[in-house]
Amino acid sequence: MRFRSRLFVDLSKFESNFSLLKEICPSNEVLFMVKADAYGHGAVPIVRFSYSELGIKEFGTATLGEALQLRQEIPDGEFEIYVFSDIQIYLKECAEQYLNRRIIPVISNKEDLDYFLKNSEFKHFPLTLKFNTGMNRLGLDIDQTEEIILDIKKSGRKSIYHLMSHFSSASLSMSKSKRNVQQLEKFDSLKNDFQSAGIDVERTSLSNSGAIEQKGGLSETHVRPGLMMYGPSSLIKPERPNSFWKGEIISRLETYIIRVFEVDRGMPLGYGATPCPDDGFVAIIALGYGDGFLTRFQGATIPYKGHLGKIVGRVNMDMAQVFFDKSAGEALKAGEVFTVWDHNPERFLDFAEQTGTIPYELFCLLTSRVPRTYNLD
């Protein structure tokens, strides 16, 4: 565990992001995605705050284990939890957890649906279906809709608790991308098929963060925000000017400078003896790939006290070298705080682009060696 390298999570900025979300979609219920430990921010504290302070009552995880952690750590929480991908409903030990802990499996293949409908224990349990409208990842085959309708009717059910799909290209324009337009049309047709067959669809959702920030898919009962709640835009750079999203990064990654020393151009640095790019100073910071600060971050820049540092040489397991030109000499001092990213979304997205990652990765890469600290200003 690190002592002075930590991820500060500002819950007041998280609350502000939620308010901005509701300005975009005031009429939609929110199914908040908190998989992968709330995108690296700590699922339990994020869900606890979301439920108790923001009134969010529906959460999405990727695995049953993630859902069970929330039930165990927040036992008094009267909220719904959906498991979206790793459901394994056919395993007796998993089926019992869904039934006994009120955890809802999102059914996305015919085999799981057949098991669910034929198992008498699930007779009165909420049926949630996810269809493939073009993502081509998980999802029931839309060509099997007629067969699925017959199976649901044979089981005696008259409704679907939640009908879902997922945009594949929400980082692109919702109005100009042919794939996005087609997915919306397919989902509308799917809803009509169920309703025409006399099956009530209680809840619907399609929009992830990229779609929401463009006000796409808001005719459904629910939206499913993920990344945007933590701050960044999900859109590719050319599309960001068209976004309605103005959120802030809710976290700040801080470390400290272990050592500062003067260097000459060509001086070998660290593993591999990488030549120093110029005369100047090197600051050794207390983050390495053991913390989720990867070797491929080499070459990226980080601002510090008005100077621009550059990650040089190989990132080590426990530390990294940041080069500054000679003008930064007076500003660099061992023991001082060094901020990798702050609440500025443009700077965060720029760092992601420089490192060849995406915002999701930067958040999720941080290992448990970097403590998460929460504050509400």
In tens, the pLDDT along 20-32 reads 999 999 999 999 9
Is residue 211 domain-shared with residue 291, that is, in the same domain? no
* Distances 266 to 260, 276, 316 between C-alpha atoms, Å: 17, 5, 20
CATH number at residue 293: 2.40.37.10
Residue among 122, 9, 33 at smallest CA distance from 81? 33
pLDDT at residue 376, as a whole number: 81
Q: Work out the burial of residue 142: count CB atoms within 10 Å of its CB; fewer than 13 is exposed, 13-18 middle, 19 or more buried.
A: middle
Residues in contact with 16: Cβ distance below 8 Å, sequence separation at least 6, in sequence order:
247, 248
Give mean pLDDT in consecutive 10-residue pieces for the chain, a chain of 377 residues. 94 98 98 98 98 98 98 96 97 96 96 96 96 96 97 96 97 95 97 97 98 97 98 96 97 98 96 94 98 97 97 97 96 97 97 96 97 89
For residue 7, the model assigns a pLDDT of 98
CATH of residue 82's domain is 3.20.20.10
Q: Whole-model pTM above 0.85?
A: yes
Is residue 1 in some structural domain? no
What is the C-alpha to C-alpha distance for residues 260 and 335, in angstroms, rounded to an integer?
A: 9
Do the beta carbons of residue 359 and residue 227 sit within 8 Å? yes
The pLDDT value recorded for residue 68 is 98
Burial of 315 (0-12, 13-18, 19+ CB in 10 A): buried
The whole domain housing 305 covers 251-375
What is the helix (H) or strand (E) element at residue 112, kind and residue range?
Answer: helix 110-118
**Structural domain contains residue 221:** yes
Neighbour-count burial of 137, counting CB atoms closer than 10 A to its CB (0-12 exposed, 13-18 middle, 19+ buried): exposed
Identify any residues that bridge with 61 across adjacent strands, giving them in sequence order. 83
Same domain as 255, residue 222? no
In terms of domains, do 146 and 31 share one?
yes
Matching residue, tokens 């705080």: 337
Radius of gyration of the chain (CA): 24
Cα dihedral sign, 15-19-20-22? positive
In a shared domain, residues 214 and 234: yes
Residue ending a domain, among 185, 220, 242, is 242
End-to-end Cα distance, the chain: 25
Give long-range contacts, CB 8 A cutoff, 24+ apart: 361-364.
Answer: 363/39, 363/40, 363/41, 363/230, 363/251, 364/36, 364/37, 364/39, 364/40
Whether 300 maps to a domain, the answer reads yes
Residue 264 sits in the same domain as residue 283: yes
Say what the pLDDT of residue 151 is.
97
Domain count, the chain: 2
| Residue 365 host element (H or E) | helix 359-365
In a domain, 4, yes or no: no
Q: Which residues pair with 3 in a beta bridge?
A: none
Q: Are residues 201 and 301 in the same domain?
A: no
